[in-house]
Structure 1
């Protein structure tokens, strides 16, 4: 998403004037010219980008608190730094802070959509926002997030996998199976998706769906199919099947 940052810098620079010193006159005699609005914006942008780069470096090093602090500095320097909101939200999510994740993801996604910035990245962040809303018990908001995600990820199973997980977590196994089926229609070779499908089918005592999961896994890998067949014989409803 760095291209947006470069575009924004280009917009800030268009129309700005360069103040050149008069030949032979000392700048001290002339005095420093007050910064223009454009110059202040460019300085804020550069400061925000410096903090954003530092945050990413700390994140790569696993220094979460320092990364969070730098993301916050980036936002404080330039509140229009969309990447800082989104990446900070992802970091909060990875560290089990759903309330904080929702706060910044909601802002970042909203800003992006207001500027008509879409695409797969925004779709994935919508899925992430949905999972954090789910963690807070806000299922209506999570559903709305997934609807947005599908718009930007029309050929990606990710939103349907997330929906299937949510429905399974609520004990709605028939609806979970339906969601996983939509995901697998987009990606028939997704082994994890087939196992999630089969798991929901077993928990929901849905024999036809169990057989469908078995066929799907066997078509990808006979060993996976055989493992699921054994699981169908021995699984206790409500118990999480273990992957082989």
Structure 2
């Protein structure tokens, strides 16, 4: 990962040390050959060393300012933002995308299962309602059939009773008629026999004068004839 373009403190210090060493070597050579150089040259060399020291201190100040953690580096911020966006894209493609897709598929599957369960429940409720309606209709039909059968049985019972009563009444009337006819016939026979007996008795009385014994005999004969007939 790229962290910035600022030089490290160690590298800057090494450069400063190398520059100071170079200046020291130049100064030593100048002193060894100082016989043919003027005092102005020494002053110029001193100014050069002073200028080098100032530049070295300036580099140290610049390096100290560049490593301040509070200071915002635009290049580092841009690079960090680019890396963050790339990381988000990679995570979205290879991590969040599949996870979100799996969650969506799972949610859709659960929703489908819930819809199927609800449809099955509604269908079962409809079938139960239809079955209960059929049972209610069947119960009503059975009750109606039982009521009709009971009514028919009562009617047949009444018809049988009426027929039996009519037959009994007819038999009774027939018996009464037969008894009455037999009674009338017996009375007629009795009357006829009584008349015949009376006629016979009268004829016998006319034919002869009856004594007490004859009278008793006639009555006995009449009774005997009556019993025989």
| Larger helix proportion of the pair | 2
- Which structure carries more relative contact order (alpha carbon 8 Å, separation 6+)? 2
Task: Output the TM-score relative to the length of structure 2.
Answer: 0.26
Point out the structure with max Rg over C-alpha. Answer: 2
Task: Output the TM-score relative to the length of structure 1.
Answer: 0.25
